[in-house]
Amino acid sequence: MDVPETVTTALEDRPVAGATCLEAGAGVGNTTAGLLDAGARRVYAVTNDADHARTVRERVGPGGPDESDRAALLEADLRDLPLADDSVDVITAHGLFNVLPPESLDAVASELTRVAESDCHLVVDDYAPLPDDAEMRDLFSVEDAATELADGRPALTFYPPAALRRLFAGYGWVFDRRRTLLDPVPWTESHVEAHAEVARSAAERLPDELGGPLCEEADRLVESIGEESVGEMYSVAMRLAEE
Amino acid sequence: METRSLGDTGHESSVLTFGAIALNWLEQDGADQMVELLLDRGVNHFDVAPTYGDAELKLGPKLRQHREDIFLGCKTQARDYDGARRKLERSLDRLGVETIDLYQVHGLEYDEELDTITGEDGALEAFRDARDEGLIDHIGLTSHGNPQLILDAMNRIDDLETVMFPLNPVVVGKDGEDHDYEAVLERADEQNVGTLGIKAFAEGPWPPTDELPEADRPYANWYEPVDTPAEIEERFDFAAAQGLTSVVSPGDPKLVAMVLDAARRYDGMDESAQRSLVERLRHDESPVPEQLHH
Ligand SMILES: C[S@@+](CC[C@H](N)C(=O)[O-])C[C@H]1O[C@@H](n2cnc3c(N)ncnc32)[C@H](O)[C@@H]1O
């Protein structure tokens, strides 16, 4: 399967070959595949989503497109990892933080730090907050409003890179480098539709007078946006300071 | 317009090469005007073939008038000595010129063909004899076939000076040997072989003919092209930024003016913008919105 250039670009200057890696938030397994491609000795791919776990298991499992005996899929919570202290050399969080609500940031950062070796590398790839005039920003607002009302937490939070740097600095991580992975970020029709769908399905769980207008606004935005290339996807690399 | 060294040929090619198949769809007056326009805007590398309908004949008059200003590439699909020689003489005759600057093996597709052209009585022997006689100056190869075959050809043909192959963001986004034209580009750079990019403007294959008959296609290209100024510009910028010597213009004359404009304004493309284009097309290609992220 193809490894996206966002992933290869984020990993190309990291010492992945021969390393024990943790892919925090495995999603559909793009970064897991990228780490395997780059010669990781072992990749622990962690997700708390059963569908994602199955997808990644099929992808790296026997007969899958990225079959490898170096990958292990762990269905677990990043706030409570089934991994030993000081056990991984490279940690990746590609597109993870935008799905983490602010209140879980500390628990995740602290747990990632616990499992990190003393000179571990951390790569955090994510989206910068969108500019005010981006229509996609309106769609994300509707998505967040609907999920916040339905589930008590927003679907997405876009953290500025400096915020995540400071978060990890508090746990002893030292900034290494920053790269721009995508500028602009191409929100294609399929992205627009997928985010609208998250908004609609949350809105449907709300009372009609609340959910109805949110659904309508999501539909209107899909029509109006079509596709939009806007914003930045960044990659911040850090190292755990030697103790 | 920016120019770049075409490998070891000693020629500085404009970053846009004119794919002269476009002339096939114009009357002679229109063809003459198009050549004048291209020259005026700084295009100095033209590429033609005997299989492009009347293109050689229609290029002839202006080519002869401006022979010194045009680096002329031509090519043949003949794989044997006699066939290649006959095709070369016919092209010289139809173009009405004494020499062709770059003569290319056209559309290499199979391993056996490579054996034939490099073997005894193969096309390359005819190319070399013609070069000794001064009928051609340089030898090149074109292929939209497997990148591994092109790499193999570069290994086996010592005096190969240019390669022409597909390069666009869709191809770059695909992993695996069968799409690895970037490896061809890399090797060509190492060996100082000139590189000419085709299919830079391809959007995708045409719909099947039972949905859209050939006669109802809006463009004469082999593939469905992108056709807005913004898309043309980003595709041109992308191809030129990969490091190709020159990007070949699409086959339909309706698109040439837009491409010319993009080529004249070319001044590089940020890597993050290149990746953005690759990502956008990668998601366009995937049939279901399987993912919310990049
Ligand atoms: C957008 S995806 C990441 C994409 C992935 N890194 C890739 O390269 O394809 C986010 C992933 O993080 C997972 N995730 C979010 N919060 C989590 C948590 N608290 N514990 C474990 N996994 C979590 C989600 O289930 C999802 O699989």
Q: Enter the ipTM.
A: 0.80
Q: Specify the pLDDT at position B282.
A: 83
**CB spacing of A181 vs B282 below 8 angstroms:** no
Average pLDDT for residues A88-114, to the nearest whole number?
A: 97
Half-sphere exposure in the Cβ direction for B179 (13 Å, CA): 11
Chain B residues close to A195, C-beta within 8 Å: 292
Whether A182 has its CB under 8 Å from any CB of chain B: the answer is yes
Per-residue pLDDT tens over the stretch A108-130? 999 999 999 999 999 999 999 99
- For the cut 50, the answer to whether the pLDDT of residue B289 exceeds it is no
**CB spacing of B275 vs A5 below 8 angstroms:** yes
Model pTM score: 0.86
Whether B6 has its CB under 8 Å from any CB of chain A: the answer is no
DSSP 3-state of A133 = coil
- For the cut 90, the answer to whether the pLDDT of residue B292 exceeds it is no
Average pLDDT for residues B250-259, to the nearest whole number?
A: 96
A112, A91 Cβ separation under 8 angstroms: yes
Per-residue pLDDT tens over the stretch A146-201? 999 999 999 999 999 999 999 999 999 999 999 999 999 999 999 999 999 999 99
Per-residue pLDDT tens over the stretch A22-51? 999 999 999 999 999 999 999 999 999 999
When pLDDT is cut at 50, 70 and 90, the band that residue B285 belongs to is: low
Within 6 Å (CB) of ligand 1, which residues are found? Answer: A 25-31, 46-49, 52, 77-79, 94-96, 99-100; B 293
DSSP 3-state of A239 = strand
**Mean pLDDT for chain B overall:** 95
The structural domains of chain B, ordered by start, are 3-281 (3.20.20.100)
**CB spacing of A6 vs B290 below 8 angstroms:** no
Whose tokens are 């213009």? That residue is B249
Chain B residues close to A232, C-beta within 8 Å: 272
List, in sequence order, every beta strand (DSSP E) within chain B: 3-5, 12-14, 16-19, 45-47, 71-76, 100-105, 136-142, 160-166, 194-198, 202-204, 224-225, 246-248
Q: Specify the pLDDT at position B293.
A: 84
What is the interface size between A and B, counted as CB pairs within 8 Å? 77
Average pLDDT for residues B77-98, to the nearest whole number?
A: 98
When pLDDT is cut at 50, 70 and 90, the band that residue B184 belongs to is: very high
The percent of residues in chain A predicted with pLDDT above 90, rounded, is 96
- For the cut 90, the answer to whether the pLDDT of residue B163 exceeds it is yes
Q: Say which residues have a Cβ less than 8 Å from residue B240's Cβ, sequence separation at least 6.
A: B2, B15, B247, B263, B266, B269
Q: Specify the pLDDT at position B76.
A: 98
Among chain B residues, CA nearest to A181: B272
**CB spacing of A182 vs B294 below 8 angstroms:** yes
The percent of residues in chain B predicted with pLDDT above 90, rounded, is 90
**Alpha-carbon B162 to chain mean position:** 11
Q: Rounded distance, CA A35 to CA B14, Å?
A: 40
- For the cut 90, the answer to whether the pLDDT of residue A241 exceeds it is no
Q: Specify the pLDDT at position B222.
A: 85
Per-residue pLDDT tens over the stretch B30-74? 999 999 999 999 999 999 999 999 999 999 999 999 999 999 999
